[in-house]
Amino acid sequence: MNDLAIRVENLGKQYTIGTSPERYQTLRDSVANTITAPVRGFRRRFIKKEALSSAGGRGKKDSIWALRHVSFDIHKGKVIGVIGRNGAGKSTLLKILSRVTEPTEGLAEIHGRVGSLLEVGTGFHPELTGRENIYLNGAILGMKRTEIEKKFDEIVAFSEVEKFIDTPVKRYSSGMYLRLAFAVAAHLEPEILVVDEVLAVGDAEFQRKCLGKMSNVAQEGRTVLFVSHNMSAILRLTEETMVLEKGEVVMRAPSRTAVEQYLSSGYAQIGERLWTRDEIPGTAFPFYPVAVRIRDPHGRVVDTVRSVDPFTIEIEYHLESPITGLRVGIYLMTTRGEFVFTSFDTDAPDQYDEYRIRAAGKYTSRCHIPVDYLNEGSYVVGINASTYQIKRYFQDEQVLNFTVDPSGAPGMQWAEPRLGPMRPRLDWQIENTKEGAKTEATPARIDFDQNK
């Protein structure tokens, strides 16, 4: 018997560029476009047909393959992670599998009812109450009315908004809104669940709750395809992970291996990551990242820093219009997927006050990492630009990689690797507690310098 849940064969999706930048056109362009639109429409249709008939072959100049030559099988009951950088084709893959859009070539075969969560709260109407939105959103996600009725209390309890269930959701805080939205989505019970980055919402506690719910879903024997930038969520929830790169599956391996490979396959070996405008999603407006760099104490851009030297992570960006409460920050992660820290440029109260409203213009935010801070190994820098509980303008959890060289760090007299991402130089006191043999507190480093 066939126990396949999803079979994908040579799947590809081509997008025509030039449809998206239309919002930047001038009035004159729009007039010209309006007049020529029908003509172009017809021409495009015919040209497309031609291009397709030549065996889906040569790409046109103004089109890109968001996904190409993707083939894989997923067996029933498996929980598979999908990781990859922004624009690697993850969302396109999910959109095809959840039938939102059609592939341009290839075939996908899906055995069973698919539920897709590409976004939480799809179709929520601000004027409707929480109760009404549960029904509406449930129906949009493909739930039957009786099914929603049966789970209604459970959904409300999960969302923790009981008191406001008859209040229009436009009066909800963004946290409440997201909780309610996720609660509905979490109670969807399809045979195959396709989930995009929906766990990256809400506060930390609610995220934990969502992750818990997700792992329950996984244990119930349903097939799950789970896209995330959150490596620890991937590691926790999935057994196997596919890595997408430039629209192709470059690896499929047990999650731990895949994550490690993915994080250490640095794109920017030169310690710098640059963005061009068309790489940045439209949702980032008005925040546009320009570059992220690692600089050594001499100001050189490097990809390896010494543990005993300070270094700087700088984020260069452009604000097209002022943002209130903007915070630009970094995540630091090991290539094994453990977070080391998260830090924002307005963490300090006085900075926070000074940049309450950040005017439009060019900025560079620099984060100084002190000496004796990181252990040897590879690290990943991610960036986040957001306004707390309002909007996340831009986030990329794998912007660039760098390596920490441990020479001169504490404990180097022993060649063994040290556990943990940090390698601080801490003060130790060694006290001989035998009567009368009290030693003065001596900084440990003196001993090491003598290299006994």
Query: Per CB under 8 A, does 248 bind another protein?
Result: no
| Closest CB 107 distance from another protein, rounded Å | 5
Q: How many CA atoms within 13 Å lie on the side-chain side of 284?
A: 22
Residue nearer to another protein on the CB measure, 40 or 208: 40
Binder of another protein out of 64, 128, 250, 253 (CB under 8 A): 128
Binder of another protein out of 122, 215, 265, 304 (CB under 8 A): 122
Binder of another protein out of 74, 88, 141, 183 (CB under 8 A): 141
| Closest CB 315 distance from another protein, rounded Å | 30
Residue nearer to another protein on the CB measure, 43 or 438: 43
**What's the CA gap between 17 and 302, in Å, rounded?**
35
Three-class SS state of 60: coil
Segment 81 to 120, residues that bind another protein, using CB under 8 A: 95-114, 116, 118-119
Q: 52: how many CB neighbours lie within 10 A of its CB?
A: 13
| Closest CB 412 distance from another protein, rounded Å | 53
Query: Per CB under 8 A, does 19 bind another protein?
Result: yes
| Closest CB 64 distance from another protein, rounded Å | 12
Angle (nearest 5°) at CA 430 between 426 and 434? 165
Query: Per CB under 8 A, does 191 bind another protein?
Result: yes
Query: Per CB under 8 A, does 41 bind another protein?
Result: yes
Q: How many residues sit in the footprint of another protein (CB under 8 A)?
A: 50
> Which DSSP symbol is given to 98?
T
Query: Per CB under 8 A, does 166 bind another protein?
Result: no
Q: By rule CB under 8 A, what string of x and - marks binding of each residue 43-72 to another protein?
A: ---------x--------------------
Binder of another protein out of 23, 28, 127, 434 (CB under 8 A): 127
**What's the CA gap between 296 and 305, in Å, rounded?**
7
Query: Per CB under 8 A, does 353 bind another protein?
Result: no
DSSP string of 221-259, one letter each residue: T-EEEEE-S-HHHHHHH-SEEEEEETTEEEEEEEHHHHH
Distance of CA 418 to the CA centre of its chain: 29
Binder of another protein out of 43, 125, 171, 366 (CB under 8 A): 125
Q: Which stretch binds another protein (CB under 8 A): 138-146, 149-157, 261-269, 311-319?
A: 138-146
Which residues touch 306 (CB under 8 Å, ≥6 apart)?
A: 404, 405, 406, 407, 408
Binder of another protein out of 24, 26, 27, 38 (CB under 8 A): 38
**What's the CA gap between 341 and 373, in Å, rounded?**
12
- In terms of Cα–Cα distance, which of 343, 388, 349 is closest to 366? 343
Binder of another protein out of 72, 135, 339, 448 (CB under 8 A): 135
Which residues touch 381 (CB under 8 Å, ≥6 apart)?
A: 292, 294, 313, 330, 331, 332, 399, 400, 401, 402
Query: Per CB under 8 A, does 178 bind another protein?
Result: no
Residue the block writes with tokens 């063994």: 416
For the stretch 308-337, what's the b/e string if a residue is b when 16 or more beta carbons lie within 10 angstroms of its beta carbon?
bbebebbbbbebeeebebbbbbbbbbbbbb
| Closest CB 141 distance from another protein, rounded Å | 7
Query: Per CB under 8 A, does 440 bind another protein?
Result: no
**What's the CA gap between 383 and 320, in Å, rounded?**
18
**What's the CA gap between 17 and 370, in Å, rounded?**
44
Q: By rule CB under 8 A, what string of x and - marks binding of each residue 294-333 to another protein?
A: ----------------------------------------
**What's the CA gap between 6 and 189, in Å, rounded?**
17
Contact 306, 407 (CB under 8 A): yes
| Closest CB 114 distance from another protein, rounded Å | 7
Residue nearer to another protein on the CB measure, 46 or 341: 46
Angle (nearest 5°) at CA 317 between 313 and 323? 120
Contact residues toward another protein (CB under 8 A) are 1-3, 15, 19, 34, 37-38, 41, 52, 76, 95-114, 116, 118-119, 122-123, 125, 127-128, 132, 135-136, 139-142, 144-145, 191, 221
